[in-house]
Amino acid sequence: MTTGIKISAADLGTNTLKVTHATLLPDGELAQMLHASDTVRLGYGIEATGRIEQQRFDACLAFLREQEAVGREYGVEAFIGVATEALRIAENGADLLERIANETSWQIEIISGVREAELTYLGLKDDVPSGVDCAIVDIGGGSTEAVIIRNGNVTNQQSLPIGSGRLADRFFRSDPPGEGAVREAIVASTGAVSLLEDSDAPVHFLMLAGGSGLFMNQLIAQLWGEPPFDLATLQKLGDHLADVQAEDTVNRIGIPLARAQVLPGSVAVAIAVMQRLRSGFAAGVPSGIRMGLIREYGEKR
């Protein structure tokens, strides 16, 4: 494996575009130089129109150009990335990929949901607690990826057709969304999560990977105490978000308004997963996809 190389890795998510500029060190560890994100919501309205809106299309290109310039300042030698659910299903997803290839140095690949789960695990495997069955769950805007680990071994990696952006577009018609809308989102999530294949034994600990899980950590810490948290606390968070405007969440934890608007959807999915896996506790952890990409790139060198 080649080490000591500077790499920029992008994750073009349905809700948020994320880039990490990092150095893969001689010992195989990662030193993060810089992280950037923009809540463009590439997937907004796709279920209705089948297409990425032009303004979001353009915003994605602008963000990648900006981050390419940042990476070059740091001496990055490779610009790699993945695109997920929004580009998988959008009629004009290939057009965006072509523009990116022609107008930037980014090498972006549209990947499957299972591949998302694999990269998430690769990026977070060193953080998996030992001696306890657990699951890594990355709740995206258009899909949710789950990796189940039992006795230290991965027993399932699966993508589920549910995400916070999809739920927001389908059910949240007002701000605050209201108890009825959040309840509908939980029901829809429960149906999708029922597809998750697993044994009947409980998965004791849930690692909620990415911004959604970290935002849950922050809110729960402010309202009721530090994570990890149990299902009852997560359900209280769902009730809270049903009754407050998104701006309240923005003011509490300093996240973009667009992320606050879809956060009740993320909580709905997390509730459904905790119930399905009968998890005792959960906590948010950083996203693993970009870290997994960088590690994989180094291994192939």
Domains recognised in the chain with CATH numbers:
5-111 (3.30.420.40), 120-285 (3.30.420.150)
Looking at every residue in the chain, the average pLDDT score rounds to: 94
What is this structure's pTM? 0.93
Distance CA 291, CA 286 (A): 10
- Looking at the chain, the whole-number percentage of residues with pLDDT higher than 70 is 99
Q: How much is the pLDDT for 32?
A: 75
Per-residue pLDDT of 123-167, as tens digits, reads 999 999 988 999 999 999 999 999 999 999 999 999 999 999 999
On the question of pLDDT at 235 being above 80, the answer is yes
Distance CA 10, CA 21 (A): 9
On the question of pLDDT at 1 being above 60, the answer is no
Which residue reads 């769950």 in tokens?
137
| Whether the Cβ atoms of residue 267 and residue 234 lie closer than 8 Å to each other | yes
Instruction: Please count the other Cβ atoms lying within 10 Å of the Cβ belonging to residue 180.
Output: 10
